[in-house]
Amino acid sequence: MAGQMHPPAIIFGLLCGLALLSALLAGYAGAGTKARNWVHMTLFALTLAGAVYVILDIEFPRMGLIRVDAFDQVLVDLRQSMR
């Protein structure tokens, strides 16, 4: 049952909103300098996208790269042993 319950859609909206707001603030802070540091901009974008992806992947464990198939098999075996 816990695997089927998910946070409300507003939580995911807030996650995306916070990601956009942090990108806006980072861009605003970086606009004061004349030279752009592409390494920092790329690392920030990758870190932010990676964090959002991992959060969503953990929330929906049967759809992304983080899989729980082995755990599902343990539950199936347990159910069969209870019969």
Q: What is the pLDDT of residues 45-66, one digit of tens each?
A: 999 999 988 888 888 777 777 7
Q: Where are the chain's structural domains?
A: 9-81
Burial of 15 (0-12, 13-18, 19+ CB in 10 A): middle
pLDDT values of the chain reduced to their tens digit, one per residue, 83 residues? 555 677 788 888 999 899 999 989 888 888 888 888 888 889 999 999 999 888 888 887 777 777 777 777 787 888 889 98
* Calpha distance 39→14 (Å, rounded): 27
pLDDT the model gives residue 66: 74
